[in-house]
Amino acid sequence: MKKILLSTLLLTSLLTGCSSSPKDAAALPSTWAVMAIDGHSEPVDALPKQPELVIDNNLTVTYHGCNTLKGKLTLTGQNLLTKNLASTRKMCIQNEQAIVDGFVKRMLTGPSDYLVNQNTLIISSERHTVTFKKVK
């Protein structure tokens, strides 16, 4: 447990040192592809298409996976929270897709911390982390 905590603190320190300000909402609007869940890319790699998170200039967020999620981001310091998150309710055939969709939904319904590091967006809670790569 101690090793995990120290590793997480070290990684966060490194990312914070070379990132844009996590409080800078201007770095969020973009299209972001899901790359990893808790540092593991296996559930995402198994999908035929990487799910994407689109954040527009008005901080409206739309997630395209098996299900579509849509809502309005609220930012408070380093925390983000999505108000009125609406979701389709399709039955996802692939277990990996359901896992990825579930993690993204939990991060968006936060509150979750966020960090933007050049072409990477990291959204994390006390228990989990979802990493995104900038697509556009």
pTM for the structure as a whole: 0.77
The parent domain of residue 23 ranges over: 2-134
Residue 60: which CATH number?
2.40.128.270
Condensed to tens digits (0 to 9), the pLDDT of residues 77-112 reads: 888 998 889 988 887 777 788 888 888 998 998 889
Which pLDDT score, from 0 to 100, does residue 1 have?
A: 38
CA pair distance 101, 21, nearest whole angstrom? 27
CA pair distance 69, 88, nearest whole angstrom? 7
Which pLDDT score, from 0 to 100, does residue 37 have?
A: 93
For 50-62, the DSSP string reads: --EEEE-TT-EEE
Number of domains in the chain: 1
